[in-house]
């Protein structure tokens, strides 16, 4: 019997040793902490082709920055404002710009230098130069300034095209957000053809939307494609939103900037009429033959519209609580593109036409569709 008990105790001890623990302490009656088991996991390495692709992507962005950042400048503008006690005091603002040519022309936003008493440019190598304002276009928020420095200090950008951009392609921004010189941010083109309404001003059309980080100080800096070509001029961000920035398309820059350099201002194309946007309710109230388009109310004397023979309103009609000028021509399209409101017409004129160009308006007069050719004029100052 005693031998059996000894054998049982030996088996129990062997079992406890095998399980990696000890029998309960007779003093505490608790089992001691079991010996931890350490498991070593070896991560699965990335395939060589994945590493190579990531490295190529990285090198591409690095290459763009190294080639283009020397063309990006830091702009400091000084304006005189009145204090609370109506005393004139200087105030500084900062922004970005990019070198256009070896003559020292620099493209930036109009709002970066608006009202400036003086404009100072800092180049990538630290050179500081005073700049003169060559030309401005407040409507398109573009300006050209010029510095006088040795040509070897100037590294012009390459202008690309915005006509064939695609949503989803890479967008690279370089600028001076919050005064941090030549900061790089990378994203994609989020949308194209955005029309941006501006309080008290005409809408900006065909804007590029990007999620590349754009902050105060980026204004006027370049938005680039994967080859380092300028595709837009960073302009502003949506208030209170993250990663929603907008850039003026480079095709607008290529159309406007040469005229700013040559003449100091850009001549905006003009038709010379005011019109109502036709809605189904207005069409029903006035018995119009279409539910979309522009109902011409007034035509300015001597304007391109007047010279082309377009007709304005002939009578006044009460529609609800409003008096509507009715009886004029209805414009439904320009150069075959359907038009539904004045904003759309203005954006088309600004982005697709120029002064002196002949456009074809599709109109409805007395229930009959007609096509009338109009030679665009220059929009009057202050209009």
Answer whether residue 317 is part of any domain.
yes
Alpha helices in the chain (DSSP H): 2-19, 48-68, 110-113, 250-263, 280-286, 304-308, 342-352
Contact (Cβ atoms closer than 8 angstroms) between residue 136 and residue 110? yes
Say if residue 232 is in the same domain as residue 276: no
Answer whether residue 6 is part of any domain.
no
- Of 240, 263, 286, the residue that ends a domain is 263
Say if residue 162 is in the same domain as residue 259: yes
- Tell me what pLDDT residue 33 has: 63
Say if residue 210 is in the same domain as residue 278: no
Say if residue 187 is in the same domain as residue 87: no
Nearby residues of 141 by Cβ (< 8 Å), 6 or more positions away? 109, 110, 111, 204, 235, 248
- Rounded to 5 degrees, φ, ψ at 121 are -120, 130
Answer whether residue 47 is part of any domain.
no
Q: What is the mean pLDDT of each run of 10 residues along the chain (383 residues)?
A: 48 46 48 63 66 76 94 90 61 89 97 92 95 95 96 96 94 92 94 80 83 90 96 85 87 95 95 95 93 95 96 90 92 96 90 93 95 95 72
Domain extent, residue 290, equals: 269-378
CA distances from 163 to 206, 250, 360 (A): 10, 9, 22
Half-sphere exposure of 331 (CA within 13 A, CB side): 34
Say if residue 299 is in the same domain as residue 374: yes
The rounded distance, in Å, linking the Cα atoms of 193 and 343 is 13
Say if residue 240 is in the same domain as residue 148: no
- Rounded to 5 degrees, φ, ψ at 310 are -65, 150
The rounded distance, in Å, linking the Cα atoms of 268 and 282 is 31
pLDDT tens-digit readout, 185-214: 999 999 998 888 766 667 777 899 999 988
- Of 120, 153, 186, the residue that ends a domain is 153
Q: What share of the chain is helix, strand, coil (3-state, %, to 5)?
A: 25, 40, 40
Say if residue 324 is in the same domain as residue 279: yes
Say if residue 163 is in the same domain as residue 145: no
CA distances from 1 to 11, 12, 14, 183 (A): 16, 17, 20, 88
Answer whether residue 36 is part of any domain.
no
Q: Hey, which residues are catalytic here?
A: 111, 141, 219
* Cα first-last separation, the chain: 118
Answer whether residue 39 is part of any domain.
no
The rounded distance, in Å, linking the Cα atoms of 220 and 217 is 8
CA distances from 321 to 56, 122, 318, 332 (A): 65, 58, 7, 26
Say if residue 283 is in the same domain as residue 330: yes
Q: How many Å is the maximal CA-CA distance in the chain?
A: 129
Say if residue 205 is in the same domain as residue 148: no
Answer whether residue 45 is part of any domain.
no
Half-sphere exposure of 36 (CA within 13 A, CB side): 3
Could you tell me the CATH number of the domain that includes residue 291?
2.30.42.10
Say if residue 130 is in the same domain as residue 164: no
Q: Kindly state the tokens that stand for 62.
A: 């690095």
Backbone CA torsion sign across 369, 375, 380, 383: positive
The rounded distance, in Å, linking the Cα atoms of 162 and 172 is 14
Q: How far is CA 177 from the centre of its chain?
A: 15
Answer whether residue 213 is part of any domain.
yes
pLDDT tens-digit readout, 84-118: 555 665 667 899 999 999 999 999 999 999 989 89
Could you tell me the CATH number of the domain that includes residue 120?
2.40.10.10
pTM of the model: 0.78
Q: Angle at the Cα of 179 (from 89 to 210), degrees rounded to 5?
A: 120
Answer whether residue 341 is part of any domain.
yes
Say if residue 274 is in the same domain as residue 227: no
Q: How many structural domains comprise the chain?
A: 3
- Of 233, 248, 263, the residue that ends a domain is 263
């Amino acid at each position: 019997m005693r031998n059996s008990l000894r054998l049982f105790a030996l088996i129990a001890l062997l079992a406890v040793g095998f399980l990696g623990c000890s029998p309960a302490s007779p003093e505490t009656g608790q089992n001691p902490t079991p010996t931890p088991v350490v498991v070593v996991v070896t991560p699965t390495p990335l395939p060589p082709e994945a590493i190579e692709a990531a490295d190529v992507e990285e090198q591409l962005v690095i290459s763009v920055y190294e080639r283009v950042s020397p063309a990006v400048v830091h702009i400091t503008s000084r304006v005189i404002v009145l204090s609370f006690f109506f005393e004139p005091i200087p105030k500084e603002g900062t922004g970005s710009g990019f070198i256009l040519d070896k003559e020292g022309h620099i493209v930036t936003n109009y709002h970066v230098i608006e009202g400036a008493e003086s404009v100072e440019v800092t180049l990538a190598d630290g050179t500081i130069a005073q700049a003169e304002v060559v030309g401005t276009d407040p409507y398109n928020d573009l300006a050209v300034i010029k510095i006088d420095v040795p040509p070897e200090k100037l590294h012009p950008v390459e202008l690309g095209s915005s006509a064939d951009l695609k949503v989803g392609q890479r967008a690279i921004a370089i600028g001076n957000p919050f005064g941090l010189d030549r900061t790089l941010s990378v994203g994609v083109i989020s949308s194209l053809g955005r029309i941006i309404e501006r309080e008290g001003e005409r809408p900006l059309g065909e804007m590029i939307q990007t999620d590349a980080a754009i902050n105060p100080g980026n204004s006027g800096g370049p938005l680039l494609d994967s080859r380092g070509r300028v595709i837009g001029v960073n302009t502003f961000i949506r208030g209170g939103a993250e990663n929603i920035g907008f850039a003026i398309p480079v095709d607008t820059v290529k159309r406007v900037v040469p005229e700013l350099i040559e003449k100091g201002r850009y001549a905006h194309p003009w038709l010379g009429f005011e019109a109502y946007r036709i809605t189904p309710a207005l069409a029903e109230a006035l018995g119009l033959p279409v539910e979309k388009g522009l109902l011409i109310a007034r035509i300015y004397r001597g304007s391109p519209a007047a010279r082309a023979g377009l007709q304005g309103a002939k009578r006044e009609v009460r529609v609800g609580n409003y008096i509507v000028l009715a009886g004029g021509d209805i414009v439904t399209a320009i150069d075959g593109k359907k038009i539904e409101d004045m904003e759309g017409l203005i954006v088309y004129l600004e982005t697709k036409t120029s002064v002196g160009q002949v456009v074809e308006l599709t109109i409805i007069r007395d229930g009959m569709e007609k096509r009338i050719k109009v030679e665009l004029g220059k929009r009057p100052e202050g209009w």
